[in-house]
Amino acid sequence: MTARRKLKLTHLLSTVWFVSCVVYMLARELDRAGFTGLQISSLFPHSALVIFLLVSLYLFALFRGVGRTQNIEPEHPLTMTPHYMAFYVAAPLLGGVAGILGMWGAGTMPEFLLGVALGTLGTTIAVWVVVDPVAGLFEMLLPASRRHRAERLAQTEAQRMARQESRERLLAEACAREEQERQRWQQRLGPQAERLAELLAGEIGGPALDVEQEVVDIGAQAWRLGGLTCMRQLREMAVAKGQQLQPDTRLTDYLSYWWDGIGDWRRPSMS
């Protein structure tokens, strides 16, 4: 069995033992308070909440002690060693052993079990709340730990800056490609924009159905050329040219309605 599997097994046993001690102490206090079985069952949701909070505290402490990444190992020459990690994880079990030794020869079984449970909780809290923070603080005061921490933070900042520069470069490249595409469309869509402007301005007569069909055909060509973005650019060009043809008249934007259904183009809502 590898050391990692042994650590996981110890973690599982410690969790079961810790929860068992919490449940026993809670049930004992409820029994001493005179609660009947029915009353205790009615308080089960509240008891479950207390147990959940204590187990969450246990898992948090376990994650803090064991879930450290390898890149900070030089900053913790003591608490990252296998022996310390095993001691940290096995704190509830060690507390149970201490409780058994301390209560050996107790007068009654309830007193013995209470002493074991108190030993478990006391040892676990002492290791998590006192020993581990003090050991971590001592490690962080070491010159080698402080130097490695400064180097790690500087490397992290450099990586963050590199990622940000990469994102900005990709964004700039995307904007440049978009601008090139717009310029290409500007040149290619010039005749179509002029034609649409003349139709909007009413300078070219003809049956309304023929005019609408021509506008729709031009919109479909723009959709095939560059999708919705290309259609928007063509509309902007056509409206601008149409306004130049009739500067004193507000043109009706028929394109937004006649192009409805071409690709992703949708007419504006009337609200």
Task: Write down the pLDDT at residue 170.
Answer: 93
pLDDT at 94 over 90: yes
Residue 40: HSE in the Cβ half-sphere, 13 Å Cα cutoff: 14
Going by pLDDT thresholds of 50, 70 and 90, the confidence category of residue 209 is low
Average pLDDT over residues 14-41: 73
pLDDT band for position 263 (50/70/90)? Answer: confident
Would 180 be classed as within a structural domain? no
Residues near 171 by Cβ (< 8 Å), separated by ≥ 6? Answer: none
39 shares its domain with 134? yes
131 with 7, same domain: the answer is: yes
**Phi–psi pair at 68, nearest 5 degrees:** -70, 145
**Residue 240 within any structural domain of the chain:** yes
Q: Which of 78, 106, 141 is the last residue of a domain?
A: 141
Shared-domain flag, residues 26 and 134? yes
Give the length of the chain: 271
Please state, as a whole number, how many other Cβ atoms lie within 10 Å of the Cβ of residue 98.
17
Position 116 in a domain:
yes
For position 212, what pLDDT does the model report?
82
What pLDDT is stored for residue 258 in this prediction?
Answer: 86
Whether residues 137 and 30 share a domain: the answer is yes
Residue 234 belongs to some domain of the structure: yes
- For residue 269, the model assigns a pLDDT of 67
Q: Are 137 and 43 in the same domain?
A: yes
Q: How many domains does the chain have?
A: 2
Q: Comparing C-alpha atoms, which of 108, 100, 137 is closest to residue 21? A: 100
Winning range, highest mean pLDDT, from 22-36, 71-85, 229-243: 229-243
Residue 246: predicted pLDDT:
77
- If one compares 32 and 125, the residue with the highest pLDDT of the two is 125
Confidence at residue 43, expressed as pLDDT on a 0 to 100 scale:
47
List Cβ neighbours of 113 (8 Å cut-off, separation of 6 or more): 24, 28
Question: Cα separation of 245 and 240, whole Å?
Answer: 9
In the predicted structure, residue 205 carries a pLDDT above the cut 50: no
Q: What are phi and psi of 214, to 5 degrees?
A: -65, -40
16 shares its domain with 134:
yes
3-state secondary structure of 127: helix
Q: Are residues 136 and 217 located together in one domain of the fold?
A: no
What confidence score (pLDDT) does residue 149 get? Answer: 86
Q: Alpha-carbon Rg of the chain, whole angstroms?
A: 37
**Same-domain status, 12 and 108:** yes
Q: Supply angle C-alpha 74, 95, 62, rounded to 5.
A: 40
24 in a structural domain:
yes
Query: Looking at 150-164, 194-208, 223-237, which range is the least confident one?
Result: 194-208
For residues 208 and 258, is the Cβ–Cβ distance under 8 A?
Answer: no
* Triad 116, 121, 125: Cα angle to 5°: 150
In the chain, which ranges are continuous DSSP H helix?
Answer: 3-32, 37-42, 44-66, 82-89, 91-102, 109-125, 132-140, 143-188, 190-201, 208-245, 255-258
- The answer on 196 and 91 residing in a single domain is no
**Whether the predicted pLDDT of 50 surpasses 80:** no
The phi and psi torsions of 81 (rounded to 5 degrees) equal -75, 150
16-30, 53-67, 124-138 — which one is most confidently predicted on average?
124-138
- Answer with the one of 84, 109, 141 that is the final residue of a domain: 141
Q: Is residue 166 part of a domain?
A: no
CA 128 to chain centre: 28
Report pLDDT digits (tens) over 103-126: 887 778 888 888 899 899 899 889
In the prediction, which pLDDT does 4 show? 78
Same domain, 133 and 200: no
| Mean pLDDT computed over every residue of the chain | 80
Residue 58: alpha-carbon gap to chain centroid: 23
Residues 13 and 137 in one domain: yes
Asked whether 258 and 212 are in contact (CB, 8 A), the reply is yes
**Residue-range definition of the domain harbouring residue 199:** 189-258
